[in-house]
Amino acid sequence: MALDEPNENDETFETGGFTFVIEKELLGQAQPIKVDYITSAMGSGFVISSGLKDNNACGSCTSC
């Protein structure tokens, strides 16, 4: 996840006061996408999950 400005290859979504930008091609491969913020005993941060089937894909995990 990064800060970015949308361009012609992107799709934008607004929810909860936030605007999300994703490449249209990736969106077609990764739907559905869920962005959540969690707090647990191990810490807090964003969790991103998707329908992406590629086992080599990695979002915010630390084992990549």
Q: What is the pLDDT along the chain (64 residues), one digit of tens a residue?
A: 788 899 999 999 898 888 889 999 888 888 888 889 999 999 999 898 988 765 455 555 544 4
Q: What is the pLDDT of residue 63?
A: 45
Rounded CA-CA distance 6/36 in Å is: 21
In a domain, 36, yes or no: yes
In a domain, 58, yes or no: no
Domain extent for 35: 10-50
Model-level pTM? 0.58
Q: What is the pLDDT of residue 53?
A: 63
Q: How many domains does the chain have?
A: 1
3-state DSSP call for residue 30?
helix
Q: Is the peptide bond before 32 cis (omega within 30 degrees of 0)?
A: yes
